[in-house]
Homo-oligomer: A and B are copies of this chain.
């Protein structure tokens, strides 16, 4: 039962084939190869952004930190939610890459930033004098860190506030594809048409071995990004093996198909939980991640069965009828049988 994270499943066979195909012979290093050219073009096509600067990194933290460093100054603050990956899970990578910018936490509900809260914070920062950190980028996460998805209206409302104050917008799209298939809109709708300036476009959590794209809609930032990527140690000499992954990802809708498989798997778990007395969702589950609560007895059964997921601390230690929360994530490779077994263990009270 593999529900710990979408970074724990296998690489999709078509991606492995693409890597094997890319291994045929000799290629110029540092992105001067045909795979990179092709993959960049496919990202541009996917985003309907023929002028966009597109670069690949191997980790999402690198994509986020480099993207933010390119649009933030060290004397600024970046606005994000308290749950954001850049705040919680990158061991100060944004502070490091920006040369010491701050992160300002803006109130969220179900990990979605509250527009009124952002409006208040930006208003209070507007015209900030020399003593305080200056307004820097807004960074949003889609899918959010609690499994919810911003609707396009919500996204637009937030980015409109940012534009009004003249600050750029970053989208942490580690699960971009999962959000996209959830909303049923286009990549352009969910990025530049919604006021986003720079996207961390994830692949690693969605069936790649380790490849993310940074999509920069203003190509004037391209060279600075390249220099920052290099000095961060993130320019791969054998870039073709990053690019080949991204190339396969964007071929024949593989990225969307895998995201659909992941979301569908998660929604089966959701449906199952909804039918179980005493189980409850802690946040709406709108893509491939679930925050739920059920009995400690159920957590113990899952543990004993070797289920992989993230129960909260002490979840297995309460009395039988104590409720304890957990995180459940599905990826493209999740077998139906795992879902059924998982639910059976939860339900058997």
Chain A residues within CB distance 8 Å of chain B: 2, 4-5, 7-11, 16, 19-20, 23-30, 57-66, 73-77, 88-93, 95-103, 105, 130-134, 204-205, 209-210, 224, 226-228, 230-238, 241, 308, 333
Q: Pick the contact of A134 from B7, B90, B97, B227 — CB < 8 Å?
A: B227
**What residues of chain B lie closer than 8 Å to A134, measured between beta carbons?**
91, 227
Residues of B within 8 A of A98 (CB): 100
Is B231 a contact of A91 with CB atoms below 8 Å?
yes
Q: A93 near B233 (CB under 8 angstroms)?
A: yes
User: Are B29 and A10 touching (Cβ within 8 A)?
Assistant: no
Which of B61, B92, B224, B237 sits near A204, CB closer than 8 Å?
A: B237
Main secondary structure of the interface of A (DSSP, over half): loop
In the complex, which residues of chain B have a beta carbon less than 8 angstroms from the beta carbon of A19? Answer: 16, 19, 209
Instruction: Judge whether B29 and A74 touch: CB under 8 Å.
Output: no
Copies per assembly? 4
Using CB atoms, name the residue of chain B closest to A131. Answer: B89
Given the complex, which residues of B lie within 8 Å of A101, measured CB to CB? 92, 95
Interfacial chain B residues near A100, Cβ < 8 Å: 92, 95-96, 98-100, 231
Q: Are B231 and A90 in contact (CB under 8 A)?
A: yes
Inter-chain contact B93/A59, CB cutoff 8 Å: no
> Known: A74-B96, A91-B132, A232-B232. Contact between A20 and B10, CB under 8 A?
no
Closest to A88 in B: B132
Known A5-B29, A16-B23, A132-B91; judge A75-B228 contact (CB<8 A): yes
A236 to chain B, nearest CB (A): 6
- Given contacts A29-B5, A59-B235, A61-B235, are A230 and B131 in contact (CB under 8 A)? yes
Contact between A7 and B23, CB atoms less than 8 A apart: no
- The answer to whether A102 touches B103 (Cβ under 8 A) is yes
In the bound complex, do residue A130 and residue B227 qualify as a contact, i.e. CB atoms below 8 Å apart? yes
Does A8 lie within 8 Å of B23, measured CB to CB?
Answer: no
Q: Specify the chain B residue showing the minimal Cβ separation from A236.
A: B210
Please determine whether B26 and A2 come into contact, CB atoms closer than 8 angstroms.
yes
Q: How far does the alpha carbon of A236 sit from the alpha carbon of B130 in the complex, in Å? A: 12
| Distance between A152 CB and nearest chain B CB, rounded to angstroms | 29
Q: Choose one: B8, B10, B231; the contact of A75 (CB below 8 Å).
A: B231
Knowing A62-B233, A74-B96, A100-B99, the reply to whether A91 touches B130 (Cβ < 8 A) is yes
**Cβ–Cβ < 8 Å partners of A233 in chain B:** 57, 59, 61-66, 90, 93, 97, 232, 234
Assembly CA distance A226 to B4 (angstroms): 22
Q: Which residues of B have CB within 8 Å of A11? A: 23, 238, 241
Minimum CB–CB distance for A137 against chain B, Å? 14
Q: Are A58 and B231 in contact (CB under 8 A)?
A: no
Q: How far apart sit A115 and B328, CA to CA, in the bound complex (Å)?
A: 34
Taking each of A19, A60, A105, A224, which has the highest tally of chain B beta carbons within 10 Å of its own beta carbon?
Answer: A19
Would you mind naming 10 contact pairs between A and B with Cβ atoms under 8 Å apart?
A10-B25, A11-B241, A19-B209, A59-B235, A61-B235, A73-B224, A89-B131, A96-B232, A134-B227, A210-B238
